[in-house]
Structure 1
Amino acid sequence: MGRVSAVPVPQPRTSAAAPAAASGSRRSLAAALLLGAAGATVVLLAAGRVWAEGTASVGGGTVALDARGGDVTGVPTALAVVGLAALVAVFAARRAGRLLVSALLALSGAGASAAALLDASDTAALDEKAARTTGDAAATVGALTHTAWPYVTAAGGLLILLAGVLALRYGKRWPTMSGRYERDGTPRPRRAAAVDPDRPEDLWKALDRGEDPTREG
């Protein structure tokens, strides 16, 4: 009889894809958290700064006026708050819910950035202040200048937008809120109360519960 050569059995190869995917998931998660939080902080801070300055003529002289971001538009601030809420909600949501919240996060950033850019050269807020200061409804502001804070606000909105894009792209790989914090409605097992054999009332209570008081725990 001829020799039968042993056929090598292919062994399952340990794939490096899983560790690489986990590492990529952690990096995208950290980046989204950092970008979202930083972007919202930048928007909230920059929206409170002076966006425009000017003067109004009063009694032959001039008075200095300024308009902060909140005077010009409240949209970036409101959307930054929405973005922060969406960033937190991403980890509580699952599947389709996470996709919707991620989209809301991205839209919040885009809206905040667009609103800041559109109102960067707005003069209505200063004209309104000039009218109140002079008592003339037709008064307008003079020596008008604009600061860079609207563009800083827009940059913060872009950071929130990037966080939303990361959540849309990689959010399905991110962990969800721990199940131990969720209530699934199932009753929790109750621990049997300790039975003291020297106390008759404990013995009767154990019998009422259907327990064997003579059984050692």
Structure 2
Amino acid sequence: MSSPVPQPSTLAEPAAESTSRRRSAGRGSLLLALASGVLGAAVVLLASGKTWQEGSAPFAAGGMPVEVSGQQVTGVPGALALVGLAALVAVFAVRGAARLLVGGLIALCGAGALAAALLSLGDTSALDAAAATASGLSRTTVTGASTSAWPGVCAAGAGLLLLAGAVALLRARTWPGMSNRYGRATPNGARSTRPTRAAASSAGEGRPEDLWKALDRGEDPTEAP
């Protein structure tokens, strides 16, 4: 008694489900990297323009209030945020190992911005310089220095950028590229939309009419060639 012939749809179901899961996971990681990267860079740039430190510069019989922004304290976070944002866009234009390099660059930008924001918490050199400028005395030291919450906000944004880089390092190989829809690359660099001979052959082997023709010839279509 001949064994039942498996239906093409039954054979394709596991592969289709596996492909669907991979695509879904790729889309999820892509959205996570984009959201965290763009939001993180925006937060860093916003926080860098806000007041980070305040104090008082001795002047005459009293004091003169002075303050400095994040850009005055350190320009590193803002610059790295711009580089990380550009790298996040560039990750779609490259493939393979280049994507890992770009993902690493994004992670380094986030880590550098985070370190710069945290190191600025105990540094009042920019505030002292502002106090010296305000008072006209080169050796003036600010008094009553205080730090706002914006350096912490900047560090949080840098952490999001670091997260985007980590996700890119782990999952960027599963993300689509800009040129995927133009088809297969040919040796001369052109794009071809026609399927390869092997793909066309495998696509036709599982058609119902081919299975019935094989049975008519007395062949068992379930056996490997």
- Same fold by TM (over 0.5)? yes
- Calculate the TM-score normalised by the size of structure 2: 0.76
1:24 alignment partner in structure 2: 25
Q: Secondary structure of 1:67's partner?
A: strand
Structure with more of its chain in helix, by fraction:
2
> What's the counterpart of residue 81 of structure 1?
82
- 2:66 aligns to what? 65
SS in 1 for 2:49: coil
Query: Which residue is equivalent to 2:3?
Result: 7
Name the aligned partner's letter for residue 128 of structure 2: D
- Kindly provide the CA deviation profile for residues 94-138 of structure 1, in whole angstroms up to 9, marking residues without a partner as x: 111111011001110111011100112210011111112222222
Q: Could you tell me how far apart the structure 1 residues matched to 2:25 and 2:37 are? A: 18
- Letter aligned with residue 29 of structure 1: L
- Answering whether residue 131 of structure 2 is matched by residue 135 of structure 1, we say no
- What's the counterpart of residue 106 of structure 1? 107
Asked if structure 1 preserves the Cα contact closer than 8 Å seen for 2:66 and 2:134, the reply is: no
Deviation at 1:9, TM superposition (A): 5.1
SS at match of 1:40: helix
- Percent identity between matched residues is 50
Gaps of 5+ in 1: 187-217
For residue 164 of structure 1, what is the amino acid of its counterpart? G
Q: Report the equivalent of 2:41.
A: 40
Distance 1:36 1:133 in 2: 38
- 1:131 and 1:51 map into 2 onto residues whose CA distance is 18
Q: What is the distance in 1 between the residues matched to 2:5 and 2:106?
A: 51
CA 1:185–1:96 in structure 2 vs 1: closer, same or farther (change >3 Å)?
closer
**Paired amino acid for 2:174:** R
**AA in 1 matched with 2:137:** D
Rg (Cα) greater in structure: 1
Q: Name 1:193's counterpart in structure 2.
A: none
Gaps of 5+ in 2: 191-225
Q: Distance in 2 between the 1:73 and 1:133 partners?
A: 20
Rounded to whole Å, the distance in 2 between the matches of 1:27 and 1:133 is 52
- Secondary structure (helix, strand or coil) at the match of 1:91 reads coil
The one-letter amino acid of 1:31's match is: L
| Distance across 2 between alignment mates of 1:126 and 1:143 | 11
CA contact (8 A) 2:121 2:151 kept: yes
Q: CA RMSD in A?
A: 1.7
Tell me which residue corresponds to 2:54.
Answer: 53
Q: Tell me, in whole angstroms, the C-alpha distance in 2 between the residues paired with 1:26 and 1:132.
A: 52
How far did residue 185 of structure 1 move? 6.4
TM-score normalised to structure 1 length:
0.78
Aligned to 2:174: 173
Q: Does 1:94 align with 2:95?
A: yes
